[in-house]
A and B are shown apart, each in its own frame.
Chain A
Amino acid sequence: EVQLVESGGGLVQPGGSLRLSCAASGFTVRGNYMSWVRQAPGKGLEWVSVINSGGGTTYYADSVKGRFTISRDSSKNTLYLQMNSLRAEDSAVYYCAREVAGWYFDLWGRGTLVTVSS
């Protein structure tokens, strides 16, 4: 079955760090552009970061640039998001999503909740 499963969310204090994982099955992450998209409670969708199929190019939203790092492990077929210097406004459900040619997302995980609070 083709699916994405996120994990690693939880409660973290402001200024802390967290690493999210997204395990893919039924396809390879290295063959696709992969993104993280987040949704704060009761709010809309916000794109966070993307990594290209080659793995050598990454882009970030201005709101997370310099604090978050996207990466992947092809041997584990897993996408990651390292989040440092977390702020309250980073609290959200984080989804990983597969991108297809045309800059849209055809497959989404169920998401993992990150709460930044003291």
Chain B
Amino acid sequence: QSVLTQPPSVSGAPGQRVTISCTGSSSNIGAGYDVHWYQQLPGTAPKLLIYGNSNRPSGVPDRFSGSKSGTSASLAITGLQAEDEADYYCQSYDSSLSYVFGTGTKVTVL
């Protein structure tokens, strides 16, 4: 059961900036645990996009950025491109000794 809340969908035209929010609680994000983001292209496995709130793994374009504040986090995509059309999930750790994922957000490039 997802305990991190994301908007179901966001959309933008090529070149625009879009943001995805991820809202948790005092037992996960608010407890100080980091937030991580994954990109899932259609029909493929998730891929690590952002780790430790704002760090990009090697090979991830700097168009992707992350931030965290309080019990929430956000992912921003600037200069939106057609290949960014995918599902995006946030993830954190919970004090109940479990890993928690967000509900997922579908990004559509208009």
Contacts and interface: CB of A to CB of B under 8 A. Distances in A.
A102 B52 contact: yes
A46 B46 CA distance: 12
Interface stretch (B18-26, B68-76, B96-104): B96-104
Contact of B51 (A46, A61, A102, A111): A102
Interface in A62-87: 63
Contact of B2 (A46, A50, A103, A111): A46
Nearest to B51: A104
B27 to A, nearest CB: 14
Contacts of A46: 1-2, 101
Interface string A89-118: 000000100001011111011110000000
Contacts, number: 62
Contacts of A111: 45
B99 A47 contact: yes
Contacts of A102: 34, 36, 51-52
B65 interface: no
11 contacts: A37-B46, A37-B101, A44-B104, A61-B98, A95-B45, A103-B33, A103-B92, A104-B48, A104-B91, A105-B36, A106-B48
Interface of A: 35, 37, 44-47, 50, 59, 61, 63, 95, 100, 102-106, 108-111
Given A37-B46, A45-B104, A47-B99, 4 more contacts: A45-B38, A102-B34, A106-B48, A106-B57
